[in-house]
């Protein structure tokens, strides 16, 4: 069966885009299935850095049809900005298809996102303020505007006006500044017209492709522990990045999927608030952030960092039916004398063997670490597993033993070719 899912196994920014770029060589469709422009997916090709928010990471290959499927929320200013930037750099987006069933993001969603965060005071989620949560909320309360509506642009303009007026009332009630309705209607009508050639019944297109034997790659944004149901609620995003979300978000049934690749860094990061058992607030944490350049692609925020957490990864295997892991940023650990791996949690001093179902419990667990000698060798030029220092091999073997699935790809640098295929 020809469908592969790529999903973040931690809290995002694992290097999904780099692995998707690698897997794109053998896939014809690369399909975003959830999230929106809260994502920041980076691919580096011969020093050229491409930071993608909505356009799928397979776009850099001519043979790939990039697709934005029904589960995504689409911010048109960002989408067109991204298309223009890519085309200026010689990357054609003509093949891009956007699902008629995907929902649109509007300026009132960003206004509501900001108001909701301000109202939370000290309990802020630390959202990207892109309007993602409010857009999915509108979808759930059945007042969202779908991409397919732009085919009748006059009706679309009327809908946008009606929605803007209604939302302005709510924004004013919440103490916010009203939005300029006419400006929004004019601008989004233009965007709507520009979107028309990209609009597609992606569900049917994907099924016909699968029937022909085409290989389809489903690109997750965010990650398992930011999942609305399975993440560290309420410190999560408003969609389902877990592999089940790839089915709902594309219309492809679960029996079509034969490969689910979980992406993990060699350590852990998180941006925004929420529990993080293995977080380091010491010099090692600072070193991970400095060496790993752990600053958000979208918001520029400093990420939080800690050692690799295998308790999380074991749970990610269950939640996503992971068949394998791709491990990125092993090179970031090059300078450490010793490296640690979290292999278990204790609660009130007692080991626990289940992943906590409540964020307040997760916030109280203490990590149990296994300490390994570091390799203190530059890994960036290594391309063969046999050339890895024994300490790095032991680190990978420990992860495989702890997590129970193989690590198939190991990243040793940001560039497209900075990886090796790992076999123990
Ligand atoms: P994504 O959201 O999961 O696609 O990840 P991001 O692009 O937000 O963040 C990952 C960052 O790590 C990017 O700057 C990548 O260029 C970089 N990166 C990816 N793989 C590696 C790797 O193996 N080593 C190093 N040093 N950097 C990497
Ligand atoms: P990629 O795809 C890391 C985080 C935000 C915040 C929470 C909710 O690049 O891995 P939202 O704006 O979605 O309502 O914010 O989720 N977040 C991400 N963190 N990587 C991402 O995407 C993220 N997208 C959202 O920081 O904590
Ligand atoms: Mg990212």
H-assigned helices in 303-388:
310-320, 359-362
- Residue 161 has phi, psi (to 5 degrees) of -60, -45
- Please tell me if the CB atom of residue 411 comes closer than 6 angstroms to any atom of ligand 1: yes
Mean pLDDT of 168-184: 96
Q: What is the pLDDT of residue 1?
A: 57
Contact between 60 and 21 (Cβ < 8 Å): yes
Burial tier of 348 (Cβ tally within 10 Å: 0-12, 13-18, 19+)? exposed
Mean pLDDT of 23-32: 97
Residue to substitute in 272, 294, 298 for testing ligand 2 pocket (most ligand atoms within 8 angstroms of CB): 272
Judged against a pLDDT cut of 90, whether residue 294 lies above it is answered with: yes
Mean pLDDT of 2-20: 97
What share of the chain in percent tops pLDDT 70? 100
| 215 counts as catalytic | no
Burial tier of 300 (Cβ tally within 10 Å: 0-12, 13-18, 19+)? exposed
Residue nearest to atom 16 of ligand 1 (CA): 414
Name residue 7's beta-bridge partners: 262
Distances, alpha carbon 89 to alpha carbons 21, 57, 61, 297, in Å: 17, 15, 13, 19
- Set out the domains of the chain in order of their start, with CATH numbers: 17-100+203-255 (3.40.440.10), 103-195 (1.10.300.10), 260-421 (3.90.170.10)
Return d(Cα 97, Cα 88) in angstroms, integer: 19
Judged against a pLDDT cut of 90, whether residue 277 lies above it is answered with: yes
Mean pLDDT of 271-299: 94
Dig out the tokens for 16 from the structure. Answer: 């999904």
276 Cβ partners below 8 Å, 6+ apart?
11, 268, 270, 304, 306
Q: How confident is the model over 38-86, as pLDDT tens digits?
A: 999 999 999 999 999 999 999 999 999 999 999 999 999 999 999 999 9
Judged against a pLDDT cut of 60, whether residue 152 lies above it is answered with: yes
313 Cβ partners below 8 Å, 6+ apart?
9, 10, 262, 264, 325, 399, 402, 403
pLDDT confidence band for 300 (50 / 70 / 90): confident
Ligand 2 atom nearest to CA at 272: 27
Name residue 44's beta-bridge partners: 49, 415
Name residue 278's beta-bridge partners: none
Q: How confident is the model over 134-147, as pLDDT tens digits?
A: 999 999 999 999 99
Ligand 1 atom nearest to CA at 44: 16
- The catalytic position among 13, 75, 113, 227 is 13
Q: How confident is the model over 315-363, as pLDDT tens digits?
A: 999 999 999 999 999 999 999 999 999 999 999 999 998 999 999 999 9
Q: What is the pLDDT of residue 222?
A: 98
Return d(Cα 335, Cα 324) in angstroms, integer: 27
Q: Which of 111, 107, 127 is nearest to 171 (CA)?
A: 111
Residue nearest to atom 19 of ligand 2 (CA): 12
- Please tell me if the CB atom of residue 127 comes closer than 6 angstroms to any atom of ligand 2: yes
Count Cα atoms within 13 angstroms, Cβ side, for 352. 17
Judged against a pLDDT cut of 90, whether residue 102 lies above it is answered with: yes
Mean pLDDT of 181-186: 98
Instruction: Answer yes or no: pTM beyond 0.85.
Output: yes
Mean pLDDT of 190-216: 98
Averaged pLDDT score across all residues of the chain: 97
- The catalytic position among 27, 37, 41, 112 is 41
Helices 132-140 and 107-119 cross at an angle (nearest 10°) of 110
**DSSP code at position 179:** P
What share of the chain in percent tops pLDDT 90? 97
pLDDT confidence band for 403 (50 / 70 / 90): very high
Residues in the chain: 424
Contact between 171 and 111 (Cβ < 8 Å): yes
Distances, alpha carbon 335 to alpha carbons 153, 156, 292, 331, 410, in Å: 57, 56, 11, 9, 17
Contact between 269 and 294 (Cβ < 8 Å): yes
- Please tell me if the CB atom of residue 13 comes closer than 6 angstroms to any atom of ligand 2: yes
| 286 counts as catalytic | no
Nearest-ligand number for the alpha carbon of 35 = 2
Judged against a pLDDT cut of 60, whether residue 198 lies above it is answered with: yes
Segments of 271-406 assigned E as strands: 304-309, 324-328, 338-347, 350-352, 366-373
Return d(Cα 225, Cα 230) in angstroms, integer: 6
Place of tokens 């929004």: 184
């Amino acid at each position: 069966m020809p469908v592969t899912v790529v999903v973040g196994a931690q809290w995002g920014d694992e290097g999904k885009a780099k692995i998707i770029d690698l897997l794109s060589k053998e896939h014809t469709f690369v399909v975003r299935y959830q999230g929106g422009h809260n994502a920041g997916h980076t691919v580096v090709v011969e020093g050229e850095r491409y930071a993608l928010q909505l356009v799928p990471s397979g776009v850099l290959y001519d043979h790939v049809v990039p697709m934005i499927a029904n589960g995504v929320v689409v911010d048109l200013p960002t989408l067109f900005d991204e298309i223009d930037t890519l085309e200026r750099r010689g990357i054609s987006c003509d093949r891009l298809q956007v699902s008629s069933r995907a929902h649109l993001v509007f300026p009132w969603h960003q206004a509501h996102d900001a108001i909701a965060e301000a109202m939370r005071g000290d309990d802020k989620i630390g959202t990207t303020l892109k309007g993602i949560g409010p857009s999915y909320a509108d979808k759930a309360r059945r007042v969202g505007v779908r991409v397919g509506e732009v085919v009748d642009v006059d009706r679309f303009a009327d809908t946008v006006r009606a929605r803007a007026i209604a939302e302005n009332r709510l924004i004013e009630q919440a103490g916010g500044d009203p939005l300029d309705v006419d400006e929004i209607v004019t601008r989004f009508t233009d965007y709507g017209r520009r979107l028309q050639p990209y609009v597609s019944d992606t569900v049917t297109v994907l099924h016909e492709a699968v029937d022909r034997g085409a290989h389809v790659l489903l690109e997750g944004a965010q990650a398992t522990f930011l999942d609305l149901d399975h993440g560290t609620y309420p410190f999560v995003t408003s969609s389902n990045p877990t592999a089940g979300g790839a089915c709902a978000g594309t219309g492809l049934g679960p029996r079509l999927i034969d490969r689910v690749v979980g992406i993990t860094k060699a350590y852990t990061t998180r941006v925004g608030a929420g529990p993080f058992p293995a977080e380091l607030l010491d010099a090692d944490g600072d070193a991970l952030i400095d060496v790993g350049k752990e600053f958000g692609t979208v918001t520029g925020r400093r990420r939080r960092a800690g050692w690799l957490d295998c308790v999380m990864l074991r749970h990610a295997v269950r939640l996503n039916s992971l068949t394998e892991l791709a491990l990125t940023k092993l090179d970031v650990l090059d300078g450490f004398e010793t490296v640690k791996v979290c292999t278990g949690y204790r609660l009130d001093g007692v080991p626990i063997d289940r992943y906590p179902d409540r964020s307040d419990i997760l916030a109280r667990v203490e990590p149990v670490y296994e300490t390994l000698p570091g390799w203190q060798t530059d890994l960036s030029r290594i391309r063969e597993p046999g050339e890895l220092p024994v300490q790095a091999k032991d680190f990978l073997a420990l992860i495989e033993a702890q997590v129970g699935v193989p690590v198939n790809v190991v990243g040793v640098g940001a560039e497209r070719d900075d990886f090796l295929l790992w076999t123990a």
